[in-house]
Amino acid sequence: MPTSLEHRVAKLEAKAYTANLAKLTDAELDEYILTLKDGAPDILTLEGGSQQWWDAVLARVARRPSAFPIISDEQARAEM
């Protein structure tokens, strides 16, 4: 069982490895994502996967608009 000091050191080390996703460039964020364990945890054991990975991937996706252009149908409605 970890001691209080070991527990505090583990928390500090985890914070040290947490990146400020908003300050990273796209290239830095891509590199950071590659360093993390990917995927979701196993449903039965809840082991594996990484919350940091999900946070980084979602931050990367949120930086870009949709891949599909939004086309207004007002012109089509006006022609009807």
Q: Dump the DSSP string for the chain.
A: ---HHHHHHHHHHHHHT---GGGS-HHHHHHHHHHSPPSPPPTTT--S--HHHHHHHHHHHHTS--SSPP---HHHHHH-
pLDDT tens digits, 20-63:
888 889 999 888 888 887 776 655 555 666 778 888 888 888 88
pLDDT at 3: 81
pLDDT at 47: 64
Q: Which of 63, 31, 30, 36 is nearest to 49 (CA)?
A: 36
pLDDT tens digits, 9-26:
877 777 666 678 888 899
Measured between alpha carbons, how far is residue 59 from residues 14, 22, 52 in Å?
A: 19, 8, 10
